[in-house]
Amino acid sequence: MESTPTHREGRGGGPRSVTPAEKSQARQVSLRRIGRLFTDHRGPLAAVTAIIVASSVLAMASPFLLRTVIDRALPERDLTLLVWLVVGMVAVAGVTAALGVIQTWISTRVGQQVMHRLRTDVFAHLQRQSIAFFTRTRTGEVQSRITNDIGGMQSVVTSTATSIASNLTTVVATAVAMVALSWRLSLVSLVVLPPAILLTRKVAGLRRQITARRQRELADLNVTIEEGLSISGVQLSKTLGTGAALVDRFTASSARLVDLELRSELAGRWRMASMSIIFAAIPAVIYLSAGLPGTAGTLSIGTLVAFTALQGGLFRPLMGLLDVGVSLTASLALFARIFEYLDLPVEVDDPAQPVTIDPRRVRGHLRLDDVTFSYPGSDTAAVAGVTLDVPAGTSLALVGETGSGKSTLAALISRLHDPAAGRITIDGIDLRDLRLADLAAVVGVVSQETYLLHTTVRENLRYARPDATDAEIEDAARSAQIHDLIAGLPDGYDTVVGSRGHRFSGGEKQRLAIARTLLRDPRILVLDEATSALDTETERAVQRAFDVLAEGRTTITIAHRLSTVRDADQIAVVDHGRIVESGTHDSLLDRNGRYATLAV
């Protein structure tokens, strides 16, 4: 995420910057917080732990069976004992293998459920973020955190807990068995532990730093893909001839990622290789110790063979335990990035005690009282001291030059932002006292930038109201003067619109957006340059449809072409975020002020 400060907005004042201490706290990751992800899975984890302990303890029987084979069954030629010992060794292997399969199924299921919860929690929390967050954050960065970061945590989440329990239990059980066989040889074997732990801690720190850099590079790669391979991005690169430069940028980012991947995999490998050599040399030291004058003759051949088998079996779980520590430490960088998003404050959220309304009974009386708003990082107010009163069922037109604040007012009315001062009410209720879902049911917006989903026309329209019937969808399309065009397509309403609707022209996409909004039948309709891409004839047809649909509905229209707003009940001229004139079309022309200048 970019370094632009985030903001929280209070009811009684302007936006409050999130302090560096709060940002630092959001990045702190504790094992306790990670552990809380598994709180709802105590039962399955307890079962896994029990299975691990049982299989680890059961596996320790094999060396003792081996010792008995060598020291008794073979020398004494006791065939019955030998058969029972061999059956016992095969049974131990079979039971431990079966327990391993059960353990893997349970632990993987728990891990996947935790991953599912993380993904959905992050997605849901980001859905609650304000438009300001997505304005300052790269789309590829958001996608990378949900896919790459959470995906990178998968092995840790699904297997770390069981790996720790399994390896720890095996190490403890093996150590106990080794001491039971020979405490003297155990001291020789376990002397390698301190240097192993020390080296592992150093490797873990190095791996964590590399992992953090790798995930940032992955995010940059995602941004390049999202910007370079989208329809708009491809069109831009082809028209500007920047395809080669974009490929070079992608290649450089991918090359850096290759280097980081290699460094991540090879971090500390030479240290681990040294530990492998030491562990491989220990059996030779054990044989030497068994032959020294002080110990010669005190150990049976079976005990020596069983002990070396245990010692050899100790290396795998011990190194596995140390490797888990390295992986867990490295994965903290991924957890930090995920928790940073989960800890983001929600700037525009549902109220703690919302006012309950029935959207169908809302009259639609809209009022702005001394509303002021500034975009984060800007010293100039985009809207300053605006007061407007739009009675239910009437129309208001906002006109003015580009950048005057008209679209900002539309965004405030639909509560994409909250005002820093003043308030906006519908039927006397402050927008901040309404649930966002209720407000969305009351206020419908058709903006100048139309976004269509990569699915069929029917599903694009039904997105506004999932329970809409096919007949209602077609009625909305007729009202928006787009039904005949859709019906003439090869697959009609089942035609796929293409990525971001590029199958259609700008005017056709806007009419689809109008139909989608009308399908919800909002009491307040905000048209932000909704007819800007339409030709004159189509604009007139859509405007006639709007005139019919506006009856009994409060309508706020933003337009550059004054011909579309001359019949509005009131017209407000916006300049530098302020209302400089208001009245009807004729009265404003008579004043010969700013509106008259725009009308020329």
What's the predicted TM-score (pTM) here? Answer: 0.67
The DSSP code sequence of 366-387 is EEEEEEEE--TT-SS-SEEEEE
Tell me, yes or no, whether 408 and 273 share the same domain: no
295 touches 184 (CB < 8 A): yes
- Between residues 101 and 220, which one has the greater pLDDT? 101
Residue with token string 């304000």: 130
Report the distance separating Cα 529 and Cα 539, nearest Å. 11
Per residue in 83-120, pLDDT (tens digit) is: 998 999 899 889 988 988 888 888 888 888 888 888 88
Asked if the structure places residue 1 within a domain, the reply is no
Burial string for 515-545 (b: 16+ CB within 10 Å, else e) reads bbbbbbbbbbbbbbbbbbbbeeebbeebbeb
How many CB atoms sit inside 10 A of residue 470's CB?
Answer: 11
Q: In three state form, how does the secondary structure of 252-297 look?
A: HHHHHHHHHHHHHHHCCHHHHHHHHHHHHHHHHHHHHHHHCCCCCC
Q: pLDDT tens across 278-335, in order?
A: 666 677 667 666 666 655 556 677 777 777 777 666 666 766 666 666 666 667 777 8
263 with 322, same domain? yes
Contact 176, 56 (CB under 8 A): no
Question: Do 486 and 564 have their domain in common?
Answer: yes
In-domain check, residue 405: yes
- Residue 391: which domain range? 359-599
Phi, then psi, of 333 in degrees rounded to 5? -65, -35
CA distance 162 to 46: 10
pLDDT at 25 over 60: no
Which of 285, 310, 342 is the last residue before a domain boundary? 342
Q: Are 438 and 361 in contact (CB under 8 A)?
A: no
Domain check: are 369 and 222 in the same one? Answer: no
What pLDDT does 370 receive?
Answer: 94
**Over residues 397-402, mean pLDDT:** 89
* Domain presence at residue 238: yes
Closest CA to 281 of 312, 250, 243: 312
- Amino acid, res. 26: A
Pairing of strands 421-426, 429-430: antiparallel
- Per-residue pLDDT tens over the stretch 461-489: 998 888 889 999 998 888 888 898 899 88
Q: CATH number of the domain at 475, please.
A: 3.40.50.300
* Domain end position, chosen among 286, 315, 342: 342
Residues 337, 339: Cα–Cα separation, whole Å: 6
Q: Is residue 428 part of a domain?
A: yes
Domain count, the chain: 2
Are 416 and 130 in contact by the 8 Å Cβ rule? The answer is yes
Mean pLDDT, residues 264-288: 66
